[in-house]
A and B are shown apart, each in its own frame.
Chain A
Amino acid sequence: MTATTRHAETSRPTLVYSRARELRQASDKELLWAIRDDDETALDELIERKTEPLLKLACRILNDSEEARDIVQMTFLRLWLHRDRFDERWAPNTWIYRIATNLAIDHLRSRRSRQRTAEPMRLHLEDSFDDRARHQRAQLHEGEVMAIFHELAAELTDKQRMVFLLREVEGLASKEVADIVGCRESTVRNHLFNARKILRREILARYPEYVPPRVRAEAGGAS
């Protein structure tokens, strides 16, 4: 970033205010420093950057775009209210994702206590399709895959679900996932191993048509 000065007392780079274009060139960390200095335009720039990935993540966790929107709004609000707590040793994404995933987990728990049972997705698939037609259908309807994931993910613990989503779907590194979820990398690997195992078992038991025939014959305990 071009226009950067240093506070004499903290030796921390600070943005010089001239702004929108400069903010667009600032790194996420510089934006968070500016937010820590009560810069609302920096918050707007961060919203500009992070709305899409956070909304996608929240939507994948919650399977509801309206609730996901609420969670993302609360994430930005909390980020602003706790702006003085940002520790520059953290990667910005880690901090932001951590707030979002914690809110999403809390929301999942409160939702779970409201509705103990969900209608199984199976009911929607009881049409008289043969295997092949079902397989084609499975490839066509991504929305169904999403609904199936949420049905099967009910078998996972919150940590397993979160680790699976962050690592396997969002593609974050194990170290980053560990920081977000608040555990060690070895624990992340453990959660991931168990999540895969449970999901694999449940897919084969409930939705075998989504798995190509060869593996169904071998189905069972492979990890």
Chain B
Amino acid sequence: MRAPRVIKSVFRAASSSIGLDDRNASTNGHRPYRYSAFDLLRHGFSQADWPRAWRKHDLKSSYDVVVVGGGVHGLAAAYYLARNHGITDVAVLDKGYIGSGGSGRNTAIIRSNYLTPEGIRFYDRSVKLYETLSADLNFNAMFAQRGHLTLAHNDSSLRTMRWRAEVNKLEGVDSEVIGPDEIKKLVPFMDTSEDVRYPILGALYHPPGGIIRHDAVVWGYARGADAHGVHIHQNTEVTGIDVTGDKVSGVRTNQGDIATRVVVNCTAGWSTLISDMAGVKMSVSTFPLQAAVTEPVRPFLNPVIVSGTLHVYVSQTDRGELVFGASVDPFTSYSMRGSLEFTEGLAGHVLELMPSLAKMRLLRQWAGLCDMTPDFSPIMGLTPVTGFLVDVGWGTYGFKAGPVSGETMAELVATGKTPKLIAPFGLDRFESGDLMGEKGAAAVGH
């Protein structure tokens, strides 16, 4: 049976005339509160309430730009639109509260030791933005660059590590392969003996990698965007996208309709559903990913530990809890229920690496939704519907790309030209066949 002939391109972008770059910067007369040591002291004495970090607005009937999804990607895009390009008539919509999706469910790991030169350049820009984020936003995101270790338990993993290390170095990213002795020095509690089921042969050591306080990143961007005049609408669910001809003309929500020419889909988990509303076909499958956290203990684990073979990654937060993550669940689902299978498997794998954790107790487990693409790279940029832009398909690596995604998507909206950094991640790559295979660096460990 023959498939119906595709008249119009399914994936290829339509013309890109968005043209919003003629707007002037405005902050609506609102100046954000400056946090400082002096104010901390002052509030300590006066016990006065801190001012609200962002305001609540009524939904206007039209906006220049509507961002769907109030996570780190959507809020960063709105922030950079306002700050870098002076486009402040922007609404960020979230069906729940901001940061209630992947931005609040990830394991907060930041790194740029990817496999493809395009991927490395992109994520490295994100690390650079994260490094100065607290100062930029005047909001402490507590980025701790403690180093990132990806363990190799067999020859083929070690080969991929060497490959990654060499491409990383070529792109100016600090990465090297180290042996079990050096691993033991960095993580004394690690079982680096040879007589275990999965002996550790080496690791890819990435010193700039680390962890951050993910909620603070979301709140910091929300506060920064708000200060520039962006409207943040929580509990506002998008129910439809109006497309007239092949151009976006509006967004329907459960709080009212909005007229707009530009919609940016910054959702994770529900990215297919939002794209479906605009009639744009996606190359995304949604899988749950589970994570768990232990009770807090004294600091003993400095770097982030990742094992692809054992499907586990471990880091210790500033509060002392151990955060564990795994690979995605084995089948697609929009369900965010945890499973006993996950905790069972996870515990076994963690003990394989660090047997001394046997008495640790899990506090809680949760799941988030990951939009997996066939090549483990995101889908960013223009679509066949003019004015409908996507920043989706973030699989298990969306959080670490938040700042750079916001920066580049803002540039795309403002100028109508796809920035070089995200050109390889266009939706049209699935039609041209130019896939960006990033599985070797993104599949399990992140």
A and B physically associate = no
